[in-house]
Amino acid sequence: MTTPRHVPVLLDRVVALLTPALDHPGAVLVDATLGLGGHSEALLERCELARVVGVDRDPKALELSRERLASYGDRFTTVHAVYDEIPDVLSDLGLTEVDGILFDLGVSSMQLDLPERGFAYAVDAPLDMRMDSSGRSHRPTAADVLNTYDAAELTRVLRDYGEERFARRIADAIVRERASEPFTTSGRLVALLYDVIPAPARRTGGHPAKRTFQALRMEVNDELRVLERAIPAAIDAIGVGGRVVVESYHSLEDRLVKRAFTAATRSDVPDDLPFVPEGHEPALRLVTRGAEQANADEIAENPRAASVRLRAIERVRPRDGKGAAR
């Protein structure tokens, strides 16, 4: 097994956004997508008064991050969970609210860099793509999706999650090919994509398998529906001064985050009212203006940052006008 690399995306900016929320005794950050713990490590180092709860659905990620961050002792705790289970995680830890929650969405560096996980199209490997392969989630593998979904379902997955303009053509080819032999490894799927996608299209927009593999990963792990539940739960979990920071890499993810943040920062008074009465101010405010992106230097150093969209929100008033004990 190869050793995974780990280059956290927009590390300094993420730390800068979360530090004001974590700069007090007893502060708690939930790293909802822990991975190998790169963001958590930087925040533990720079926010010496805070502790971090690292959440991940991938048992291997939890094992590796515990080894990596063992020197921080009880300031670092791991929990095996999916990030839409934040309310249960906090309840089990006896926490009513936290000071920061970080989401770094998509596939982790570790999952991409370990061929046996089946996320990468550069090597021939079993078509798994489950972020949690422990059996806890009961999700289908990528091979299951390819071998059981009908052409219409495959087209939807490839079009909606992969933004693949040849979705129907690819879906028809998959259905045709699996009739003679089920798909089991990534190499055969990549070969099919090279055959099906026209040559001019293959020469632009990156590797021709990139969009299909992204779509399958998002379907296998139910990523959008999980995120749709997770963001409101995270917003509800932060106390006054607390922040939620989200790094997304797909337009549908970013749109969902933007919609949730906009709803949370909207006043409940009519739009035509010339002022906001006291007590009706929004309980949260946007910390970032729109979605921040990586600059050219960051992208050159870490190509995975090319598609990142970063948004942050902060609670400025207690929930429902009442304080909550930490």
Which residues sit in the known binding site for S-adenosyl-L-methionine? 37-39, 56, 83, 104, 111
| Residues contacting 271, CB < 8 A, separation 6+ | none
The torsion angles phi and psi of 200, rounded to 5 degrees, stand at -60, -40
Cβ count near 311 (within 10 Å)? 24
Of 183, 144, 185, give the one whose Cα is nearest residue 153.
144
What are the binding residues? 37-39, 56, 83, 104, 111
Strands 76-80 and 98-104, bridge-based pairing: unpaired
Task: Using CB atoms within 10 Å of the CB of residue 265, give its burial: 0 to 12 exposed, 13 to 18 middle, 19+ buried.
Answer: middle
Long-range Cβ contact pairs of 121-126 (< 8 A, separation 24 or more) = 121/186, 121/189, 121/190, 121/207, 121/209, 121/210, 121/213, 123/186, 123/187, 124/185, 124/186, 124/187, 125/185, 125/186, 125/187, 126/184, 126/185, 126/186
Quote the CA–CA distance of 155 and 119 in Å, as a whole number.
20
User: Could you tell me which of 28, 17, 144 has the C-alpha nearest to residue 95?
Assistant: 28
> Which residue type, as a one-letter code, is found at position 37?
G
Joined together, the tokens standing for residue 151 give 């052409």
Angle at 152 between CA 148 and CA 155, to 5 degrees: 95
Which among 290, 296, 152, 313 is positioned nearest to 244, based on CA atoms? 313
In which element (H, E) is residue 150 found?
A: none
Q: Nearest CA to 213 among 111, 64, 139, 134?
A: 111
Beta bridge partners of 103: 246
What does residue 205 show for φ and ψ, rounded to 5 degrees?
75, 20
